[in-house]
C-alpha cells in the first residue's frame, strides 16, 4: 500500500454531531436564486437599507485613523459602555461594561459561545418552534439535545409556559428562544414572559434570550427577559446591530450576563475569534450614541411597519391566512388552503413565478404548512410579489 493510500485508508470521517445537523433549509433557496434572473426575494432576513450615515462615517474614520488592529478580547471599552447605557435606558437592565458584556462577531457568534459555555454533553435545551434555524444546530454542536416546544397560530405563536412544563425532563438544562421571533414575527407579551420566568425558576434552567430584533416592534413593547424578577442571574441576553441598525456586514453583536458566565464565553472567544471587527465596533458606538443614527432607526421602523401592513393585508386577501406579526420583518402565511406543502409551494413559486420565500418546515416541525416572507424589501417589490403570488395561488384556493 502506498503512503497516499495508507493515509486515505485511515482518514477520519466527520463527527457525529456534525452529521446530525441537516443543511440549512434557507440556504437551498438562496443557492437557486443566485442562478436565476429577475427573482423578487422575500426570503432573505436582511435589511434592504444601507447603514445610516453616522454609522458609515464612524467606520470610515476608524479606517482613516489607522485603527485596523485587534481590540480587547471583550471589545472596545467605549462600545461596552454604550451597550450598558443603552440597555439600562431602554429596559432598566444594567450590565457592568467591564465584566458582564462581551462584544462578538454578530449574534451568531454570541449564540454559539453561549451554547458551548453552558451545555454539557447530553443536556437537553428547550427550543420553542418555529424558530431560527441556528437554534437547534448550536445546541447539537455543543453536544446537547435540542427539544422542540411547539407554538401555534391560534395563540399568535406565543410560547405557553405549560408546554414548557410538559417538555421538561431530568436532563433539561436550559431554554433558548427569540422574541421578536424569526420566522413568525411574534413578540411574546409580558404576561407570558412572566409565566415562562416562573417555570425557569421552578425547573432551575438557564436562558439564552435572543433579542436581535428588539427595536423592530410595531404597536407593542419589547420586554427584555433579563429584566423580569429573578431572570438576570440566569439569563444571557443576546443582541446586536445587524437588524435594528442595518449593519449585517459589519458583524457586531454582544452577549450580556452574570460575570462568571460571560467569563466563560470570553474564554472560548479568546481562542477562536480574538476580537470582533474593529471598524465595525467603532461604527456600533455611533449606532448607539449618535442622535442621527437613532432618527434613522426610527425611520426604518416606520418603513417596515408600512410594508408589514401591505404584505399581511395582501396575503390575507389572496387567501393565505396570515396572523399579524408585531416584530422583526417577517410574515408567516398559512399555505394549507393551497393543498401544497411548504417545500413544493416555495419551489413552484420560485421557478414558475420568480418569487422566493422559505418553507416553514425549515424552522422546525411546527412550521409545516407555512412559508416565511420577509418584508425587508421595498413596497414596490412587495406589491409586485403579491401580484405574482396571487397568480400562483388563484387556481389552487
Q: Are residues 40 and 176 in the same domain?
A: no
Query: How confident is the model over 136-191, as pLDDT tens digits?
Result: 999 999 999 999 999 999 999 999 999 999 999 999 999 999 999 999 999 999 99
Q: Are residues 39 and 158 in the same domain?
A: no
256 bridge partner residues: 101, 237
Q: Are residues 228 and 355 in the same domain?
A: no
- Answer with the one of 231, 262, 290 that is the final residue of a domain: 290
Q: Are residues 248 and 263 in the same domain?
A: yes
What is the structure's pLDDT at 24? 72
Distance, in Å, from the CA atom of 390 to the CA atom of 207, rounded to the nearest integer, reads 41
What is the structure's pLDDT at 31? 72
Query: How confident is the model over 266-289, as pLDDT tens digits?
Result: 999 999 999 999 999 999 999 999
pLDDT band for position 226 (50/70/90)?
very high
Query: Percent of the chain having pLDDT more than 70?
Result: 95
Query: Percent of the chain having pLDDT more than 90?
Result: 89
Averaged pLDDT, 66-77: 97
Count the Cβ atoms, other than its own, within 10 Å of residue 3.
7
Question: Considering only CA atoms, which of 151, 68, 98, 57 is closest in space to residue 360?
Answer: 151
Q: What CATH number did the domain enclosing 333 receive?
A: 3.90.1150.10
- Answer with the one of 258, 290, 322 that is the final residue of a domain: 290
- The string of DSSP codes covering 319-335 is T-------BTTEE--B-
Which positions ≥6 away from 360 have C-beta within 8 Å? 130, 183, 332, 335, 342, 367, 368, 369, 370, 371, 372
Query: How confident is the model over 323-337, as pLDDT tens digits?
Result: 999 999 999 999 999
Q: Are residues 44 and 82 in the same domain?
A: no
Q: Are strands 172-178 and 206-210 parallel, antiparallel or unpaired?
A: parallel
Q: Are residues 78 and 39 in the same domain?
A: no
pLDDT band for position 313 (50/70/90)?
very high
What is the structure's pLDDT at 8? 53
What is the structure's pLDDT at 369? 97
Distance, in Å, from the CA atom of 46 to the CA atom of 109, rounded to the nearest integer, reads 17
Averaged pLDDT, 309-334: 98
Q: Are residues 250 and 331 in the same domain?
A: no
Q: Are residues 175 and 214 in the same domain?
A: yes
What is the structure's pLDDT at 18? 84
What is the structure's pLDDT at 23? 72
- Answer with the one of 229, 261, 290 that is the final residue of a domain: 290
Q: Are residues 113 and 142 in the same domain?
A: yes
Question: What is the pTM assigned to this prediction?
Answer: 0.93
What is the structure's pLDDT at 2? 55
Q: Are residues 162 and 307 in the same domain?
A: no
Which positions ≥6 away from 314 have C-beta within 8 Å? 382, 383, 386
Number of domains composing the chain: 2
Count the Cβ atoms, other than its own, within 10 Å of residue 316.
16
Averaged pLDDT, 302-331: 98
Question: Considering only CA atoms, which of 89, 92, 145 is closest in space to residue 120?
Answer: 145
Q: Are residues 185 and 279 in the same domain?
A: yes
| Poorest-pLDDT segment among 13-22, 214-223, 308-317, 387-396 | 13-22
359 bridge partner residues: 371
Q: Are residues 313 and 341 in the same domain?
A: yes
Q: Is residue 107 predicted with pLDDT exceeding 70?
A: yes
Helix 342-353 with 379-393: angle, nearest 10 deg: 110
What is the structure's pLDDT at 15? 84
Q: What is the mean pLDDT of the chain?
A: 94
List, in sequence order, every beta strand (DSSP E) within the chain. Answer: 40-41, 101-104, 124-129, 145-150, 172-178, 206-210, 235-240, 253-256, 330-331, 355-356, 358-359, 371-374
DSSP state letter for 305: H
Which range of residues forms the domain containing residue 389? Answer: 3-50+294-393
Residue with cell 384556493: 397
Distance, in Å, from the CA atom of 93 to the CA atom of 95, rounded to the nearest integer, reads 7
Query: How confident is the model over 1-46, as pLDDT tens digits?
Result: 455 555 555 557 888 878 887 777 666 666 777 777 889 999 888 9
Percentages helix, strand, coil for the chain (3-state, rounded to 5) are: 50, 15, 40
What is the structure's pLDDT at 192? 97
Q: What CATH number did the domain enclosing 221 receive?
A: 3.40.640.10
DSSP state letter for 217: B
Q: How many Å separate Cα 12 from the centre of its chain? A: 33
What is the structure's pLDDT at 13? 83
Amino acid at each position: 500500500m502506498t503512503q497516499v493510500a495508507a493515509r486515505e485508508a485511515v482518514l477520519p470521517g466527520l463527527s457525529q454531531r456534525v452529521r446530525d445537523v441537516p443543511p440549512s433549509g434557507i440556504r437551498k433557496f438562496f443557492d437557486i436564486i443566485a442562478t436565476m434572473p429577475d427573482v423578487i426575494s422575500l426570503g432573505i432576513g436582511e435589511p434592504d437599507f444601507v447603514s445610516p450615515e453616522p454609522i458609515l462615517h464612524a467606520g470610515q474614520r476608524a479606517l482613516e485613523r489607522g485603527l485596523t488592529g485587534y481590540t480587547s478580547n471583550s471589545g472596545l471599552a467605549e462600545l461596552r459602555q454604550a451597550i450598558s447605557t443603552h440597555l439600562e435606558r431602554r429596559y432598566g437592565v444594567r450590565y457592568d461594561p467591564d465584566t458582564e458584556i462581551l462584544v462578538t462577531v454578530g449574534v451568531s457568534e454570541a449564540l454559539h459561545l453561549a451554547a458551548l459555555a453552558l451545555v454539557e454533553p447530553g443536556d437537553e435545551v428547550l427550543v420553542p418552534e418555529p424558530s431560527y434555524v441556528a437554534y437547534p444546530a448550536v445546541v447539537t454542536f455543543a453536544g446537547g439535545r435540542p427539544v422542540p416546544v411547539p407554538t401555534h397560530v391560534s395563540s399568535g405563536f406565543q410560547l405557553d409556559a405549560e408546554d414548557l412544563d410538559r417538555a421538561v425532563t431530568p436532563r433539561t438544562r436550559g431554554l433558548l428562544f427569540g422574541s421578536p421571533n424569526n420566522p413568525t414575527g411574534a413578540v411574546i407579551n409580558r404576561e407570558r414572559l412572566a409565566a415562562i420566568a416562573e417555570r425557569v425558576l421552578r425547573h432551575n434552567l438557564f436562558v439564552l434570550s435572543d433579542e436581535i430584533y428588539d427595536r423592530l416592534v410595531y404597536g407593542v413593547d419589547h420586554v427584555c427577559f433579563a429584566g423580569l424578577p429573578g431572570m438576570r442571574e440566569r439569563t444571557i441576553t443576546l443582541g446586536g446591530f445587524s437588524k435594528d441598525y442595518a449593519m449585517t456586514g459589519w458583524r457586531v453583536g454582544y452577549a450580556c450576563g452574570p460575570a462568571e458566565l460571560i467569563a466563560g464565553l470570553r474564554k472560548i472567544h479568546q481562542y477562536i475569534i480574538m476580537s470582533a471587527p474593529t471598524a465595525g465596533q467603532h461604527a456600533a458606538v455611533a449606532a448607539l450614541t449618535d442622535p442621527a443614527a437613532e432618527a434613522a432607526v426610527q425611520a426604518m421602523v416606520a418603513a417596515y411597519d408600512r410594508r408589514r401592513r401591505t404584505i399581511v393585508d395582501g396575503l390575507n386577501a389572496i387567501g393565505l391566512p396570515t396572523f399579524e406579526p408585531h416584530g422583526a420583518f417577517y410574515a408567516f402565511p398559512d399555505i394549507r388552503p393551497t393543498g401544497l406543502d411548504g417545500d413544493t409551494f416555495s419551489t413552484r413559486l420560485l421557478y414558475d413565478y420568480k418569487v422566493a420565500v422559505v418553507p416553514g418546515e425549515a424552522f422546525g416541525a411546527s412550521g409545516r404548512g407555512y412559508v416565511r416572507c420577509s418584508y425587508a424589501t421595498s413596497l414596490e417589490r412587495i406589491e409586485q410579489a403579491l401580484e405574482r403570488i396571487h397568480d400562483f395561488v388563484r387556481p389552487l384556493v
